[in-house]
């Protein structure tokens, strides 16, 4: 696996460097979100190599003291985090996938809708958490909802219809509050969903048309280049005049010599047509 990863990272690094060298604006290239993701996917490999070497040197040079163990533990934690960041290789598919590009464009264009969704969710969680804590802990004496901040977790998983089941209201008032929170969560999640769906559909159509336009431009450029190549060939052939065929009489064939003489002296043909007739008694 290390060899496969090394080959892939070397290929990605070469591609990234070539694109960076060919970019017109280097600063604009580095600011691109996809380029940042590419850099974050490539750098952990090189950093992990350096951390591995440093960890080996530290293990050889330092004794197993408390300070040395803490330093090595930190290096190991950094190494594990960097290895986990290699999952960003998958994000490179967004460069070639229309669906992932549509998803990213929709999220970027729907920030206001997502903000409203989070606002509605926070308001509802702030409302239902004290109610369920009051219904369970104060009225029925249950200990599942120990505090209001602990009830926030229950309200979030209930309103998003996840329901892990780790915190369950037992009393009738708590169940009424739970039903109200679930219904409110469904309505809150449904409010901005229509707008986000329309934004996703519009973004998909725009990106699809953009891809089709790019493909048409590439096909037109390829056709124009082919026509230019075909046009250059007659020009090159036109620089040299075509060969002129010359007729040379064959002296061995008398008919050919007579034919050439007839074609060459057309004026003598009319004179030779007059023949004298013999005169004699009929």
3-state secondary structure 115-184: HHHHHHHHHHHHHHHHHHHHHHHHHCCCCCCCCHHHHHHHHHHHHCCCCCCCCCCCCHHHHHHHHHHHHH
Average pLDDT over residues 239-265: 47
Residue 173 lies in a domain: yes
C-alpha dist (Å) from residue 49 to 44, 72, 172: 8, 15, 59
Position 238 pLDDT exceeds 80: no
Domain-embedded: residue 212: yes
Query: Which CATH number does the domain housing residue 102 bear?
Result: 1.10.287.70
pLDDT-based confidence at residue 124 (cuts at 50, 70, 90): very high
Look up residue 35 and give its two tokens. Answer: 């380029």
Split into its structural domains, the chain has a count of 2
Cα–Cα dist 210/101, whole Å:
12
3-class SS at 23? coil
Are residues 88 and 118 located together in one domain of the fold? no
Could you list the beta-strand ranges (E) of the chain: none
Please provide the average confidence, as pLDDT, over all residues in the chain. 75
Residue 45's nearest CA partner among 75, 73, 12, 72 is: 12
79 and 19 within one domain:
yes
At residue 257 the predicted structure's pLDDT band, cuts being 50, 70 and 90, is very low
Q: Per the domain annotation, does 235 fall within a domain?
A: no
- The reply to whether 213 and 109 lie within a common domain is yes
Contact 67, 32 (CB under 8 A): no
Question: In which domain, by residue range, is 221 found?
Answer: 97-230
Residue 113 to residue 192: CA distance in whole angstroms: 6
Within a domain: 86: yes
Which residue do the tokens 């004794």 mark? 63
Which 8-state DSSP code applies to residue 65?
-
Look at residue 13 in the predicted model and tell me its pLDDT: 86
d(CA 173, CA 170): 9
pTM of the model: 0.55
Comparing CA positions, the residue from 54, 51, 53, 29 lying closest to residue 39 is 29
Q: Are 199 and 109 in contact (CB under 8 A)?
A: yes
pLDDT at 227 over 50: yes
Are 7 and 112 part of one and the same domain? no
Do 171 and 102 reside in the same domain of the chain? yes
pLDDT at 123 over 90: yes
Same domain, 65 and 105: no
Residue 274 within any structural domain of the chain: no
Whether residues 128 and 110 share a domain: the answer is yes
Question: Is residue 247 situated within a structural domain?
Answer: no
Q: Are residues 102 and 199 part of one domain?
A: yes
164, part of any domain? yes
Decide if pLDDT at 241 tops 70: no
Asked if residue 250 belongs to a domain, the reply is no
CB-CB contact of 135 with 169 (8 Å)? yes
Smallest CA-to-CA distance from 95 within 151, 47, 155, 38 is with 38
Question: Residue 5 above 80 pLDDT?
Answer: no
pLDDT band, residue 150 (cuts 50/70/90)? confident
In this structure, are 104 and 220 located in the same domain?
Answer: yes
Answer with the one of 95, 114, 132 that is the final residue of a domain: 95
Q: Mean pLDDT check: name the lowest of 27-41, 134-148, 160-174, 268-282.
A: 268-282
């Amino acid at each position: 696996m290390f060899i496969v990863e090394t080959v892939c990272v070397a290929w990605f690094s070469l591609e990234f460097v070539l694109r960076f060298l060919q970019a017109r604006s280097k600063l604009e290239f580095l600011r691109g979100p996809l380029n940042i993701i590419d850099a974050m996917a490539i750098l952990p490999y090189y950093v992990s190599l350096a951390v591995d070497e440093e960890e080996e040197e530290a293990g050889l040079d330092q004794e197993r003291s408390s300070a040395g163990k803490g330093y090595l533990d930190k290096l190991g934690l950094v190494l594990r985090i960097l290895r986990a960041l290699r999952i960003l290789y998958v994000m490179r598919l967004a460069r070639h996938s229309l669906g992932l590009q549509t998803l990213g464009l929709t999220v970027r264009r729907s920030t206001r809708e997502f903000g409203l969704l989070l606002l509605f969710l926070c308001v509802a969680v702030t409302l239902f958490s004290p109610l369920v804590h009051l219904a369970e802990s104060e009225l029925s004496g249950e200990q599942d909802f120990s505090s209001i901040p602990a009830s926030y977790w229950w309200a979030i998983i209930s309103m998003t219809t996840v329901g892990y089941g780790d915190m369950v209201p037992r009393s009738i008032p708590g169940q009424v509050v739970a039903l109200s929170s679930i219904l409110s969560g469904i309505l809150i999640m449904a409010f901005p969903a229509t707008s986000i769906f329309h934004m996703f559909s519009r973004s998909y159509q725009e990106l699809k048309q953009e891809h089709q336009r790019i493909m048409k431009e590439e096909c037109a450029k390829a056709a124009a280049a082919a026509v230019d190549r075909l046009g250059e060939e007659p020009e090159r052939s036109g620089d040299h005049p075509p060969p002129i065929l010359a007729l040379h009489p064959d002296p061995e064939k008398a008919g050919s010599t007579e034919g050439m003489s007839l074609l060459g002296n057309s004026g003598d043909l009319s004179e030779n047509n007059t023949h004298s007739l013999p005169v004699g008694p009929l």
